[in-house]
Amino acid sequence: MQITIRPLDASSDVEIDQLQALEEALDAHAYGGIEAYTREQVRTRLAGTRYWSVEHWVAVAESLEGGESVVGRASAMMPLEENLETIAVHAAVHPALRHQGIGTALVEEALRPAVRASGRTLVEAYGEIPADGDPDSADLPVNRLATRMGISRKNLAVCRAAPLPVAEDLLDALQSEAEERIGTYRIELWADEVPDEHLAAYGLLMRQLELDEPDEDVEHEAPEYTPERLRLRERRRRDAGTRAIIAVAIAPDGSIAGNSEVEFHEAERSTLAMQENTLVMPGHRGHRLGLALKVATHRELARRAPRMRSVLTWNSHVNPWMIAINEKLGYRIVQRELVLQGRPDL
C-alpha cells in the first residue's frame, strides 16, 4: 500500500467526505457511536479562530484501482492568546490499518516538521490507550510515537461512557439524594446559549474549571473566557450542528454557583453525546450540586435527543469526586487517555 502524507485540502468535497468517514470509523471503533457532521460542519470544525491557529494533514492510501482514500489524519494547533509556548499535536489512523507505519509517517513527515517550523517549545498531545495495563509501557503505540516526538506522560485521564437513556427511576433516586443537601440552591437549564446577563459570570466559571481540575504535572495556563470568546464558542458549536444542554446552579443570593454542559449533534444518525465542563465553585461545594446538575442534564438529554445511545466523559484519574458522581449515573470505563507534554529538541 502506497501512503502519502500531505496537507488536507479542505476545499475538496471528496477529501472532506473521506475525512468524516474516517472520523466515524474512529468513533465507532473506540466508543460504539458516531457524530454525523455534514461537509460544511466538518469545515467549520477544521477552521482556526482568532484564539488559535491549526494545520491539518491526511495520510492517503492509493488503492489498486488507482483511487485514493484518507486512512489517517494529523493536526497541529497553536493557542494565540495564552499558552504561547504550546503546540498541541494529534494523529489518528483508521482502526483497520494500524501497525503498518502510518502513524509514524504522520509524525515524521507532518508533526515533527510542524513543531520545528512553529518555534514553539512545549509540545502537547493526547493519546488513547486501553482501559487496563501499564500506561507507561514502552510497547504501547502511543508511547512509541510520543518517544519520537520527545514527550512523555504528565497526567492520565479515564474515558467513561454511560448508556442512554439513563433510567427514570435512577434519576429520581439521585435527585432525591441531591435534594437532601441542596437547601435553597436551584438548578436552571439553558438551551445552547448562555443568557446575556450571565455571560461574564459564566466566563469566570469556565476559567475556574481549568484552574481547579486536577491535572498532575500538565503545564497549562487557563484562558480568560471573555463574553466575546464565549459567544464565538457558541457560534462555532451551532455552525457545527452541535446542540448544548447547559445546567447551572443558582445560589440563594442569585449568583451562579456551578454548571454542567452536555453536547449532542443534531443529525438523526448521530448517537454519541459528550459531557463537557462540570464545576461547582469552591465556596459552594458540599451541597450535592454536581449530582443535581448532572441529573438535570441527563433528563434533558433524553427529552431533546432521545436517539442518543451513549454519553462520554473524561476525568483525570486523580478526581475521585467527579468520578463518584459519574459512576452513580452509570458511567463505566471505556479506555484511558494519556496527557503527554515535553520540550523536545527536534
Q: List all residues 6 or more positions away from 232 whose beta carbon is below 8 Å from its beta carbon.
A: 49, 50, 51
Least separation in angstroms between CB 19 and ligand COA: 14
Kindly tell me which of 100 and 310 has the beta carbon lying closer to ligand COA. 100
- Select from 6-14, 88-96, 153-161, 203-211 the region that touches ligand COA (CB under 6 A): 88-96
Least separation in angstroms between CB 198 and ligand COA: 36
On the CB side of 239, CA atoms within 13 Å amount to 13
Kindly tell me which of 145 and 251 has the beta carbon lying closer to ligand COA. 145
Least separation in angstroms between CB 280 and ligand COA: 31
What gap in Å lies between CA 209 and CA 277, rounded to an integer? 7
Note every long-range contact of 16-20, with CB atoms under 8 Å and residues 24 or more positions apart, other chains counting.
16/42, 16/43, 18/58, 18/69, 18/70, 19/58, 19/70, 19/73
Q: List the alpha helices (DSSP H) in 267-333.
A: 289-304, 320-328
Least separation in angstroms between CB 153 and ligand COA: 12
Residues 118-137 within binding reach of ligand COA (CB under 6 A) = 125, 127-128
Kindly tell me which of 88 and 293 has the beta carbon lying closer to ligand COA. 88
Kindly tell me which of 145 and 305 has the beta carbon lying closer to ligand COA. 145
Choose which of 2, 66, 99, 196 interacts with ligand COA (CB under 6 A).
99
Choose which of 92, 158, 256, 295 interacts with ligand COA (CB under 6 A).
92
Choose which of 102, 209, 249, 289 interacts with ligand COA (CB under 6 A).
102
161 contributes a contact to ligand COA by CB under 6 A: no
- Select from 60-68, 142-150, 166-174, 271-279 the region that touches ligand COA (CB under 6 A): 142-150
Give yes or no for a contact between 140 and 325, defined as CB atoms under 8 angstroms apart.
no
Note every long-range contact of 239-243, with CB atoms under 8 Å and residues 24 or more positions apart, other chains counting.
239/40, 239/41, 239/44, 240/37, 240/41, 240/44, 240/45, 240/265, 241/37, 241/38, 241/41, 241/265, 241/266, 241/267, 242/35, 242/266, 243/191, 243/192, 243/304, 243/305
Give yes or no for a contact between 157 and 336, defined as CB atoms under 8 angstroms apart.
yes
Phi, psi of 217 (to 5 degrees): -100, 20
Least separation in angstroms between CB 26 and ligand COA: 7
Least separation in angstroms between CB 129 and ligand COA: 7
Least separation in angstroms between CB 95 and ligand COA: 7
Q: Which of 298, 301, 246 is nearest to 270 (CA)?
A: 301
Kindly tell me which of 49 and 137 has the beta carbon lying closer to ligand COA. 137
91 contributes a contact to ligand COA by CB under 6 A: yes
Q: Which residues bind ligand COA (CB under 6 A)?
A: 90-93, 98-104, 125, 127-128, 141-142, 144-145
